Amino acid sequence: MSVEALPAPVRTDFPTGFVWGAATAAYQIEGAAAEGGRTPSIWDTFSRIPGKVRNGDTGDIAADHYHRYREDVALMAELGLGAYRFSLAWPRIQPAGSGPANEAGLDFYDRLVDELLANGITPVATLYHWDLPQTLEDQGGWLNRDTTHRFAEYASLTARRLGDRIGTWTTLNEPWCSAFLGYGSGVHAPGRTSPAEALTAHHHLLLAHGLGVGALRAELPATAQVSLTLNLAAVRPLTGDPADLDAARRIDGLANRIFLDPVFRGSYPADVLADTAEVTDWSFVHDGDLAEISRPIDSLGINYYTPTVVAADDPEHPAPRQDGHAGELSPWPADTGVRFLPAEGSRTAMGWPVDADGLYELLTRLRDDLPGLPLLVTENGAAYDDYSDPSGAVHDPERVAYLHGHLDAVRRAAADGVPVGGYFLWSLLDNFEWAYGYGKRFGMVHVDFASQRRTPKDSARWYAEVIRTGRLPR
């Protein structure tokens, strides 16, 4: 055979074995809130408090994925997804928040996982994407240290049943949001507004992560991958002025190092302890906690949407906090002297500036700070005001542009030595966007919530082509 007859080598823009996925979360898509023995979570309670969720929306029905999971897996297969990141609903699996598992709840995930595997899609499971059983909230929720032990118990009984088929496990999704939006600004469940409580919840969530890692390792085969997903911030000072640099240091502490240091170094950063001394004495940290929290993990999941621009406060020109988080109160427990400004560029329907360089900055920073740690982009995507046109098509060129830019940032980061092994688009389906209800559409698949009809948007077709070729269109 002549050399010319050899097939051209397949060139892709992404590392060999790069995982292409999409992500969802239980409360945002499942519905069937009172079926199969599920009890209410803090989001069922919170969404019923008037004024907490736009339009009074709840996750009662959501995208009805509990009943339509087969159709949804078929869609994933059609799009060529290699992996699917979803969360398990604690109140489905352990409705009382402690004690034995609810077999009917586990059965649902059993069926889902089998369906994924039958379609060649790798399941990636998150144990906690914000839906704490209400019964545990009634006992103090994340302010109660005992909740951390309950979480480890829930992790064990879930891994015992599904660990033979799920190879990648994530303990928590975005504990920053659980702690700081749930207990600081109160815009998320359970809706508390105390900076001291936000830090208590933060520590207990990290302790739950550490105990959960231990519980998972005890149940899972040695090949299992155990991870944590954080919404780390790409923090940028507005100028090089020392006061702006100090604002950036403070917010980098409260967004990033308050997680990375305990998890990867076994200590809380001294400057964060000093910055928050006005709020708490951190006496909720007990001997041995940091050893639990820093149990080794196999990879880190990064969720990225938009950068965080900060400057020193200017008392002469007070300006509203523009950190992308709704609510009158600041979620940040000790952001004294800090002004949050939007990055430049066009905005998504969430009002979040589109800035793909932030993702590159974050990934390369992690390469430098945590050398060798495998990274996954576990969420990235955008909400736009999508609608289906008279022909039934959903054209979403802004989302295609957003994804193109951010995937290019991942490509550049990988080319520059970042060990990034996969990308999970947020989200597979339009869904219940927490305090924004169904008004914000993040899906690459449009959902008509009245009929539950699914329609892949142009971005889904675009993403399927990127997956198929391994390349970004030039």
Q: Please list the residues that pair with 426 across neighbouring strands.
A: 23
**270, two tokens:** 């001294």
Q: How far is the CB of 176 from ligand FCB (least distance, A)?
A: 9
Helices (H) and strands (E) in the chain, counts: 17, 13
Q: How far is the CB of 372 from ligand FCB (least distance, A)?
A: 26
By CB under 6 A, tell whether 433 contacts ligand FCB. Answer: yes
User: Could you give the residue ranges of the DSSP H alpha helices within 355-437?
Assistant: 357-369, 397-415
The alpha carbon of residue 181 and the mean position of all alpha carbons in its chain are separated, in whole angstroms, by 14
**Options 14, 19, 20, 25; binder of ligand FCB; rule CB under 6 A:** 25
**Pick from 228, 239, 256: nearest CA to 168:** 228
Which part of the chain contacts ligand FCB (CB under 6 A), choosing from 43-51, 115-123, 211-219, 426-434? 426-434
By CB under 6 A, tell whether 177 contacts ligand FCB. Answer: yes
For residues 256 to 285, the per-residue mask of contacts with ligand FCB, x marking binding by CB under 6 A and - elsewhere, is: ------------------------------
Nearer Cβ to ligand FCB, position 148 or 173?
173
Rounded distance between C-alpha atoms, residue 461 and residue 449, angstroms: 21
Which of 153, 197, 379, 398 does the annotation list as catalytic? 379
Rounded distance between C-alpha atoms, residue 231 and residue 301, angstroms: 8
**Options 434, 438, 462, 463; binder of ligand FCB; rule CB under 6 A:** 434
Helix (H) or strand (E) holding 236: strand 235-237
**377, two tokens:** 């982009």
By CB under 6 A, tell whether 231 contacts ligand FCB. Answer: yes
Q: What part of residues 157-176 is at the interface with ligand FCB (CB under 6 A)?
A: 173-174
453-456 vs 308-312, strand pairing mode: unpaired
Establish whether 379 is a catalytic residue.
yes
By CB under 6 A, tell whether 426 contacts ligand FCB. Answer: yes
**304, two tokens:** 């990225």
CB 201 within 8 A of CB 329: no
Nearer Cβ to ligand FCB, position 217 or 457?
457
Q: How far is the CB of 378 from ligand FCB (least distance, A)?
A: 9
By CB under 6 A, tell whether 39 contacts ligand FCB. Answer: no
CB atoms within 10 A of CB 132: 24
User: Could you give the residue ranges of the DSSP H alpha helices within 172-320?
Assistant: 175-176, 182-183, 195-219, 242-252, 258-265, 270-275, 289-293
By CB under 6 A, tell whether 30 contacts ligand FCB. Answer: no
For residues 354 to 383, the per-residue mask of contacts with ligand FCB, x marking binding by CB under 6 A and - elsewhere, is: -------------------------x----
Give the interface with ligand FCB as residue ranges (CB under 6 A).
25, 28, 173-174, 177, 231, 303, 379, 426, 433-434, 442
Q: Catalytic residue positions?
A: 174, 379
